Every structure is written in C-alpha cells, then in structure tokens.
Structure 1
Amino acid sequence: MIQAYVNIFIIFSLMFLGYFLSFKQWFSNRSADVFSKILLNLSLPFSMFLNITANFNKSEFLSLFSGMIIPLVSMTITYLTSLAYRSLMNVEQTRRGTFTTMFTCSNTIFIGLPINLAVFGEKAVPYVLLYYIVNTSIFWTIGIYEIAKDNSQLHETTMTFHPLVALKKIFSPALIGFMIGLAWMFTGVKVPSFLQQFGNYLAELTTPLSMFTIGIMVYFNGIKNLKLNRDIVGVLLGRYLLSPLIVWLLGFIFPVSSLMLAVFMVQSAMPVQNSVPILARAYKADQEFAASSLGYSVLIYLLYIPLLLKIIYAL
C-alpha cells in the first residue's frame, strides 16, 4: 500500500511540474491542447491496443462485460440523486445542468487511467476502459444536454447538439484502439515486435502528458480565481462520497472480482471532467462555476485519494 501512495505522489508531482512550467512560461494554454491531442489520438489508442493483446485471452475478456452493469447502474443512481439534490438545495437555475453533469461524470482518462495504473498496474486497464465507456456515453449524451439546458435560450443551444457528435466522442480513438486490439486478440496472432516497440514508446507518454495537461489547466484557470460555494461543495460530495459509496454497495448485488470493484470505486471518485468548463463556455452556461469546481476537485483529490485507497484496502 505504501508503494501505491508513492506512485500517486510521483504522478501528482508531474501535475505540479506542469503547473510550475506553466508559471515559468514553458507551457501555454495551447500546450494543453497539443498534449490532449497527442494523448487522445496516439498514446491512449496504442496503450489500449497493447494492453488487451498482451494481458488477455478470449475467455478472460468475455468475463469482463458482466461487470459493466455496476458503472451503468451506479451512474444512473448518481444522476437521479443529483436531480433531487439540486432541487432540495435550490441550486441556481443557470448552473443546474452543469452541476448535474459534474456530480455524475468523472475524469476517467486524464486522471483515472494514470492513478489506476499507479495503484493496480496494467491488469486494471480493461476495467478502467469499461467504466470509461459508460462514463463517456453518459457525459456526451445526457451530460451535454444538461449543460445546454443552463442557457435560457434553450432552442438555440439544442440546435447545436447532434447525435453524431456524441457518437464520435463515445467512439473515441482510445475506444477504437481497444476494439482493434480486441479483434487482434481473437485472431491469436502475435503483435509484430516493431509495432510492439513503437506502440510502447507512445503508450508511455500517457501518464506524463495527462498530468502535465491537468497542471496547465489548473494554472491558467488560476488558483486565486477559484471561488468555493455551496453548489461546489455539492459537486464534491457527489464526486467523492456518493459515487464510490454507490459502487461499493452495488458490489453486494452484482458480484465481481475484488480488483474490478476497486477500480470502479476509484474511477467513480475522480475529479470533474476536463471538458465541462469548455462546454459551459460554448453553451453560455456558468463557466466560472464549472472552472472552480474542476479546480477544487483536482486540488482536493491529492488529499482524498490516500483516504479512499485506505478504505478500499480495508474492505
């Protein structure tokens, strides 16, 4: 367990390095965009491809999908709870959809994947992807619709939403890389050494680029500009208390392996999605609320994750 904490500290050190290098003007907002493109379109697809071809066979993989019911049910319950919470706590009308999206959906790739790799190793990656599929599907359908509703001129914002856009986000390069790896695994053909080595170099960029991107975003959002309020506290309760609690309880109803349940709990208790402030700005929702929620969720996570892991190891 101590080694897991050390690994997490190393990962967050990369985030702080990204923050510091932004302060030193080595990185700009444009750097975060470039890193994100490299991560999402190159390093993650190769990471998914190589992991599934190296660590699983047909029978092992087919046993995975029985566990997808847990993230699906847990996120549905969390979403419904967010609707009740925002009504009871009188969340402002101009941020209710953004609140619900942040309350329900987590950062499963930029922070989720590096953390799970650090704590559980390569065997956790398929479980990470299962949660990612459900999380991303909900985020780019229900989530984006909720954010759009925060604009009082709803008829204008809904016109910009198209199912093909959501479908493109769901079937991301990372998921496509996973699907290609899956098809390759079923053939039983060994991955050529050249492709293996080339892919490994790109896959190894995943963690540093992810954490650099988070560090850059935190810096340019500005720590001094973060404003804590009751609604942000509600988002944090959804992210760090309710979501993992629901996953844990569902583990009694839908039996899965201890590793799968642990990964799902960690994935469910991730900071706010990076894309929310960008989408809030695009749909003329409450961008300041979204940016502050993202900033606080990332900063608090460094203190929160050791506590969560201690609870998981004790279960």
Structure 2
Amino acid sequence: MFQAYINIFVIFSLMFIGYWLSYKQWFSNRTADTFSKLVLNVSLPANMFLTIIKNFTKDEFLSLVSGMIIPLLSMMITYFAGYLWRRFTQVEAKHQGAFSAMFTFSNTIFIGLPINLAIFGEKAVPYVLLYYIVNTTLFWTIGIFELAKDNPDFGEARISFHPLVMLKKIFSPALIGFIIGLIWMLFTLPLPSFVDGLGSYLADLTTPLSMFIIGIIVYFGGLKNLRMTKDIAGVLFGRFVLSPLVVWLLSRIIPVPELMLSVFIIQASMPVQNSVPILVRNYQGDEEFATSCLGYSVLLYMVYLPVLLFFFF
C-alpha cells in the first residue's frame, strides 16, 4: 500500500506541474482543449485497445460483464438520493440540474484512469472502462437532460438535445478502441509489433496529459474565486461519501471480484467531471457554481483519497 501512496503522489505531482506551467503561461485554456482531444481521440483509444488484448482472455472478459450491474444500480440510487437532497435542502433553482449531474456522475477518465493505474496497475483498466461505459451512457442521457433544465428557456434547450449527439458521445473513440480490442482478443488475432510499439507510445501519453488537463483547469478556474456554499457541500457529499458507500453496500448483496469492487469504489468517489462547467455554459446555466464544484472536488480529493484508501483498503 505504501507504493500505492507513492504512485498517487507522482500522479498529483503531474497535476501540480500542469498548474505551475499554466501559471508560467506555458499552458492556456486552449492547451487544455488540445490535450483533451489528444487523450480522448488518440492516447486513450490506444490504451484501451492494448489493455484488453494483453490483460484478458475471452473467458476472463465474459465473466466481467455481469459486474456492470453495480455501477448501473449505484448511479441510479445516487441520482435519486441527489433528487431528494435538492428538494429537502432547497437547492437553488438556477443550478438544480447541474447539482444532480455533479452529485451523481464522476470523472472516470481524466482522474479515474490515472489514479486506478497508480493504485492497482494495468489489470484495473478493463474495470475502469466498465464503470466508464455506464457513467458515460447515463451522463449523456440523464445528466445532459438535467443540465438542459437549468437553461432559462428549457423548451429550446430540450429541442437542441439530439439523440445522435448522445450516441456520438457514448460511442467515443475510447469505447471504439475498447470494442476493436475486444474483437481482436475474442478472435485471438496476432498483434503486429508495429501496432504494439506505436500503440504503447500513444497509450503512455494518457496519464501525464490527463493530469496536466486537471492542473490547467484548476489554475484558470481561479482558486481565489472558489466560494463554499451548502449546495457545493451537497455535491461533495454525493461524490465523496454517498456514491462510494452505495457501491460498497451493493457489493454486500451482489458479489463481485475483489479488484473489480476496489476499482468501482475508487471510480465512484472521483471528483466532478471536468466537462460539466463547459456544458453548463452551453446551456446558459450557473457556470460559477459548476466551476466551484469542480475546483473544490479536485483540490479536496488530494486529501480525501488517502483517507478513502485507509478505510476501504
């Protein structure tokens, strides 16, 4: 476990480097956009493709699919709990949708993948992706619907939400890379050395670029602009307490392999998705609230994660 703490320190050091280089004006908001595109469209698909080929057999993978029931049920329960929370605590009307989306859905790739790799190694990646598939599917359906409701003109926001856009987001390059790797593995096709070498180099970009992105977002979000409110505290409770607790409780009813459960708990406790403030801006919602939630969740996560590991692992 000591080595896991060292690995986590290395991961967060990458985030601080991204923050520092943003302060030195080496990085800008556009840099974060470029890095995001590189991760989502190039390095992450390569990572998913190689991981499923190198770490799993057909029988091993088929045994994993049933485990998706825990992420699915946990997110639905957390979403319902968030709905009750916002009603009984009188969450401000202007950001109720953003509250529900951030209360329920986590940052499964830009922070989730590097952290799980640091703690559990490459064997965790397929479990990370299983959680990611469920998280992404529900976010781009239920989550987007909630964000759209914060638009002052909700009728227009609802019209602008198109199923094809949703499908494009769900079937992301990362998921497509996973599917291709799955087909490759199921048919036991040989892996050319050129593809293996090139893919490995691209896959290795995922962790540093992901953490640079988080550092850039935190810097340009502005630490001095962060303001704690009861609604932000509610989002943090959903992310750091309720969501992982629900996963753990479900595992008492639905047995899953130990490593799968560990990854699911870590994934469930991730900070707010870094895309939420951008989407809130697009839907003309409360961008300041979304940005503050993201900033607080990322910063507090550095203290929270060691505590989580101590109690659960």
**2: CA distance between counterparts of 1:58 and 1:279?**
38
Deviation of 1:189 (Å): 1.6
> What is the one-letter code of the residue matched to 2:196?
Q
Matched, 1:45 2:45: yes
> What is the one-letter code of the residue matched to 2:239?
R
> What is the one-letter code of the residue matched to 2:63?
S
Matches within 5 A, 1:55-74: 55-74=55-74
Aligned to 1:174: 174
User: Structure 1, unaligned stretches of length 5 or more?
Assistant: none
Root mean square deviation of aligned Cα: 0.5
Aligned to 1:138: 138
User: Structure 2, unaligned stretches of length 5 or more?
Assistant: none
**1: CA distance between counterparts of 2:2 and 2:170?**
36
Deviation of 1:10 (Å): 0.4
Residues 13-38 of structure 1: per-residue CA shift (max 9 Å, x gap): 00000000000000011100000000
Aligned to 2:27: 27
Runs of 4+ deviating beyond 2 Å: none
Aligned to 2:189: 189
Matches within 5 A, 1:131-280: 131-280=131-280
Secondary structure at the residue paired with 2:83? Answer: helix
> What is the one-letter code of the residue matched to 1:306?
P
> What is the one-letter code of the residue matched to 1:309?
L
| Identity value in percent | 66
Residues 40-63 of structure 1: per-residue CA shift (max 9 Å, x gap): 000000000000000111000000
In the superposition, the TM-score normalised over structure 2's length comes to 0.99
Aligned to 1:80: 80
Deviation of 1:310 (Å): 1.1
**2: CA distance between counterparts of 1:103 and 1:129?**
20
**2: CA distance between counterparts of 1:207 and 1:230?**
33
In the superposition, the TM-score normalised over structure 1's length comes to 0.99
Aligned to 1:301: 301
Secondary structure at the residue paired with 2:44? Answer: helix
Secondary structure at the residue paired with 2:308? Answer: helix
Count the aligned residue pairs.
313
Deviation of 1:152 (Å): 2.5
> What is the one-letter code of the residue matched to 1:162?
H
> What is the one-letter code of the residue matched to 1:275?
S
Matched, 1:127 2:120: no
Residues 164-211 of structure 1: per-residue CA shift (max 9 Å, x gap): 111110100000000000000011122111100000000000000000
Secondary structure at the residue paired with 2:191? Answer: coil
> What is the one-letter code of the residue matched to 2:306?
P
Secondary structure at the residue paired with 2:189? Answer: coil
